[in-house]
Amino acid sequence: MKTSPNKTREDKDETMMRIAAFLCSLLIAVLAQPVQAEVERRTLNDGNLILEDIPAIPQTIVDDLNRYQNVRSASFLDWTADGESLYVSTRFGEVEQIHRVDMPGGARHQLTFFDEPVSQVSRQPEGPHLIFAMDAGGNEFSQLFLFDPLVSRSRMITDGESRNGGVVWSRDGERIAFQSTRRNGASNDVWMMPLDQADSEPEAARLVLAAPDGTWWGPADFDEPGERLLILNYVSITDSRIHLLDLDSGETTLLAGGDDDPSSNWPLGFDHAGEGYWFITDRGGEFKQLAWQPLEPGAEPVIVTADIPWDVEGMTFSKDRRRAVFAVNEDGLSRLYLLDPASREYRAVGGIPTGLVGSVGFSPDGSRLAMTLNTPQTPSDTFVLALGEDPLTHGELTRWTHSEVGGLDTDTFVEPELARFESFDGLSVPAWVYKPEGEGPFPVVVSIHGGPESQARPAFSSTYQMWLAKLGVAVVVPNVRGSAGYGKSYLAMDNAFNREDSVRDIGALLAWIDTRPDLDADRVAVFGGSYGGYMVLASAVHYSDRLKAAVDIVGISSFVTFLENTEDYRRDLRRVEYGDERDPEMRAHLEKISPLNNVEKIAVPMLVVQGENDPRVPVTEAEQIVEALREKGETVWYMNALNEGHGYRRKENRDVYQQAVVLFFRRHLLDQG
């Protein structure tokens, strides 16, 4: 049958009309999409710092911030073998190095001169040598180095590939125990090395405890003969266990914690007689208390600080173990106590500046106590406390270091007030509030800590003081549910399926800010790093209509990709906190709450800061949220340092980052062009 010519033409016309309609609809759809502008990319610091869509920093900002960026600190590391001098950590170049101070107020003599910062410094008992840890470019795969301070010579004593740390010396100084991933790159095992064989590394190191799972195992203390080790098995912040390892047989005995006794237990050390051990535990209570227990399986602990309703943070012994000192976290501030281990009596140390106590150490003869002290108005410095004949008595406190503060008047620095606001479910949430001089209302930067099992405390912050003075903003630093320091029930409130309850705390904080006449609820920014970076992104998802700007530093944008890509040695540790992405129900929940999957709800200018070598929150977490925001047409500034990891440790990178934050806040929080 033939088709008529008219019918054929009609079919062709109809086809052409359909094609035209399709092309028209396609064009309309394309035009409706936001046009992604070409990314403006430049580098600084010898090509190691990449900046994308970040405007050039005006010289006025560079000059204005210079003094705040030249604040130093001097943290106590250890005593010299003769007890006459101190080792401290301070920075006179790009990164912190080991220095020696010989007298109160004396000069700092630099001993190490590496391009990377040194950490975990400890001195050999009965000897002059030091051991320190150092990684490369912030990758956190630290190697251990044996250092002779008399000739300023060091040598690596680990394999150069694995992650190593947590060094514990034997009492005679002839061996070390340490934690390492050397066996397979993922397991956190315990190794031991004789010091006189360290030159023959890596064969000198011997595996003494192979971790049976993905949790963290590490040494805590050798007994006097060097035959046994106290071992910490860290499962999560609410579940840690203490084992006794027999070094000859390799057998381990569970002393505290376990599947039948979920609690947090931290070994401190054997007692003087070797009959028991000291540890910190929250067993049977909300807070971590100091306890002593016999070295017998199933023995009951003796709670020593039952009358202190706050967390004990740690304890240090004198060389002969007849003296001890411990610190307590009292609502964010530190209180130091002297302890007589024999009688188990303790007494608070008077005359300590109100603030935070850092590393603490007895002199070799036990007559003095060195410590790091930090207050909201002064950076960390090293002090020495004279001790009396009685273990509970002390004399005067002497300041050994006076850190530079860029010529600034520290008397003008703001001390925060401790406030509390009510969250959506009636929970009382604490927050530190820093305000500049004047009546306000002040623009607000909400600074959210990481962890999440951490705590914002009133430590010295040149960054906060800089924002207060140069931007005229108030800084509010909350401890949302899930924060440490307020009991284990508070700590567990954000776990697993309750993750977004902590984000709802930020919503309650924004509502609280609206009730304060001295704070401007119409000009609020959020700022945070690591888990705090996730909180920034999540706050932008839920509260963009109440925010003006957001700064995400090494933050988690998707819990699933984070858990899949974080380093092997820490994956199981994070699954306990965030949930196991291999479980279908949990995976669906993590996908649901991840900011990357809710990017369409983000409508606030964003600054994203990342380190290329970050082993905790991989660079891909930043890259994917930046790409998604750009595709949506949002304003996003991106900074990535190729020689940094989980945060910036090099001064040249930190300087640019801080300058960029100030410029970002001026433009997007303060609307200053």
Burial level of 566, CB count in 10 A (0-12/13-18/19+)?
buried
Does residue 89 lie in a domain region?
Answer: no
What percent of the residues of the chain are helix, what percent strand, and what percent coil, each to the nearest 5? 25, 35, 40
Q: Nearest-CA neighbor of 338 among 306, 408, 385, 287?
A: 385
- The answer to whether the CB of 331 falls within 8 A of the CB of 51 is no
Q: Are β-strands 333-340 and 345-348 bridged in parallel, bridged antiparallel, or unpaired? A: antiparallel
The three-state secondary structure class of 589 is helix
Q: Nearest-CA neighbor of 529 among 649, 670, 358?
A: 649
The three-state secondary structure class of 527 is strand
pTM to 2 decimal places: 0.90
- The answer to whether the CB of 145 falls within 8 A of the CB of 154 is yes
Does residue 230 lie in a domain region?
Answer: no
- The answer to whether the CB of 540 falls within 8 A of the CB of 461 is no
Instruction: Please name the amino acid found at residue 366.
Output: G
- The answer to whether the CB of 363 falls within 8 A of the CB of 369 is yes
575, 579, 584, 588: CA torsion to nearest 10: -130
pLDDT for res 24: 47
- The answer to whether the CB of 501 falls within 8 A of the CB of 481 is yes
- The answer to whether the CB of 391 falls within 8 A of the CB of 361 is no
- Our CA angle for 528, 535, 95, nearest 5°, is 25
Does residue 428 lie in a domain region?
Answer: yes
Read off the DSSP letter of residue 160: S
HSE, side-chain direction, 13 A CA sphere, residue 10 = 5
pLDDT for res 29: 46
Q: How far apart are the C-alpha atoms of 449 and 451, rounded to whole Å?
A: 7
Instruction: Please name the amino acid found at residue 175.
Output: R
HSE, side-chain direction, 13 A CA sphere, residue 489 = 4
Would residue 83 be called left, alpha or beta, if left means φ above 0 and alpha means ψ between -120 and 50 degrees?
left
Q: Nearest-CA neighbor of 210 among 240, 243, 255, 239?
A: 243
Q: How far apart are the C-alpha atoms of 100 and 108, rounded to whole Å?
A: 6
Instruction: Give residue-wise pLDDT tens across range 83-102.
Output: 999 999 999 888 999 999 99
Strand partners, 255: none
Neighbours of 126 (CB within 10 A): 14
pLDDT for res 293: 96
Q: Are β-strands 333-340 and 324-330 bridged in parallel, bridged antiparallel, or unpaired? A: antiparallel
CATH number of the structural domain spanning residue 459: 3.40.50.1820
Work out how many domains the chain is built from and give that number: 1
Does residue 627 lie in a domain region?
Answer: yes
Instruction: State which residues form the domain around 542.
Output: 50-68+408-668
- The answer to whether the CB of 347 falls within 8 A of the CB of 392 is yes
Residue ranges for the chain with pLDDT beneath 70 = 1-37, 198-203
Does residue 567 lie in a domain region?
Answer: yes
Does residue 600 lie in a domain region?
Answer: yes
- The encoded tokens of residue 110 equal 């630099």
Q: How far apart are the C-alpha atoms of 614 and 533, rounded to whole Å?
A: 14
pLDDT for res 652: 95
Examine residue 301 and say whether the peptide bond preceding it is cis (omega within 30 degrees of 0): no
Q: How far apart are the C-alpha atoms of 312 and 288, rounded to whole Å?
A: 6
- Characterize 351-363 residue by residue with b for buried, 16 or more Cβ atoms within 10 angstroms of its Cβ, and e for exposed: ebbebbbbbbbbb
Q: What DSSP element (H or E) covers 169? A: strand 164-169
Residue 394 CA to its chain's centroid (Å): 33
By residue count, the chain amounts to 673
SS3 readout for 380-407: EEEEEEEECCCCCCEEEEEECCCCCECC
Does residue 344 lie in a domain region?
Answer: no
The three-state secondary structure class of 625 is helix
Does residue 512 lie in a domain region?
Answer: yes
Q: How far apart are the C-alpha atoms of 325 and 331, rounded to whole Å?
A: 19
- The answer to whether the CB of 279 falls within 8 A of the CB of 266 is yes
